[in-house]
């Protein structure tokens, strides 16, 4: 897949904040009984680095899942760090996009906007996480195969913005592991944020998840590494209009 980095253009969210490759907007947070932030969602911006959906295999609970992702980069304190933006996953190894079975694994929630459209991260988060009937007209689902066909047709000037949970209250971890075991695309999306031991026990959230928290609230540096974020709701802002 040839490199084709997206080009940044002047754009602001509805609050007047500049949306660049370093943009992060917290869409939800909550604290534990010890006043520690343990429930955190955020929109993060990304530079798309090429125009293809890539894949890798992930072994979870003795099963293989094909994980689908975009090659992207995010600006952490002035350093563009290459990352994977996970879109979803399906059971089996090396499953081509056209061979994904019908169901949730075949879709992503995505909205394409022009630079002239307003971007309100809080309202998008709120309405994109309503029940399906309430959100399907404003935040439709798209086949991953159709999304692959769309990518090469997008303008050079595009900004990707992905909303996803980063930290989860500890009381939710048991249910999260059950969800990952039952729903392959959730296993793919949650993987970047959870650590499992050699016995497949969920033991903690990843160092990256905690590093993101300190970066968001304290502007701390992110240690060098190979990282992934995930998209529950993907917004693509297209410039040049």
Residues 125-159 have pLDDT tens digits of: 998 887 766 666 677 789 999 999 999 999 999 99
Task: Yes or no: say if 161 and 239 are a contact pair by the CB < 8 Å rule.
Answer: no
Per-residue pLDDT reduced to its tens digit, 90-99: 999 999 999 9
Angle, vertex CA 38, rays to CA 37 and CA 39, nearest 5: 100
Instruction: Give the separation between CA 18 and CA 83, rounded to whole angstroms.
Output: 22
Domain ranges of the chain: 24-238
Low pLDDT (below 70) residues in the chain:
104, 132-137, 241
């Amino acid at each position: 897949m040839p490199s084709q980095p997206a080009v940044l253009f002047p754009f602001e969210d509805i609050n007047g904040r500049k949306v660049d490759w370093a943009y992060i907007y917290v869409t939800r947070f909550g604290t534990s009984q010890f006043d520690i932030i343990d429930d955190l969602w955020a929109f993060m911006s990304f530079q798309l680095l090429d125009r293809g959906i890539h894949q890798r295999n992930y072994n979870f609970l003795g099963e293989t899942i094909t994980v689908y992702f975009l090659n992207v980069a995010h600006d952490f304190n002035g350093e563009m760090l290459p990352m994977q933006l996970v879109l979803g996953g399906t059971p089996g190894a090396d499953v081509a996009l056209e061979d994904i079975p019908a169901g949730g694994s075949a879709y992503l929630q995505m909205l394409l906007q022009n630079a002239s459209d307003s971007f309100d991260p809080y309202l998008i988060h709120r309405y994109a996480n309503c029940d399906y009937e309430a959100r399907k007209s404003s935040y439709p689902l798209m086949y991953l195969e159709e999304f692959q066909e769309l990518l090469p047709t997008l303008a050079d000037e595009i900004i990707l913005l992905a909303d996803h949970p980063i930290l989860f209250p500890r009381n939710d971890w048991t249910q999260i592991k059950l969800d990952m075991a039952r729903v392959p695309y959730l296993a793919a999306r949650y993987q970047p944020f959870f650590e499992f031991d050699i016995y497949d026990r969920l033991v903690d959230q990843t160092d990256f998840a905690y590093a993101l928290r300190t970066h968001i609230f304290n502007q701390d540096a992110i240690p060098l590494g190979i990282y992934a974020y995930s998209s529950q709701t993907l917004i693509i802002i297209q410039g040049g209009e």
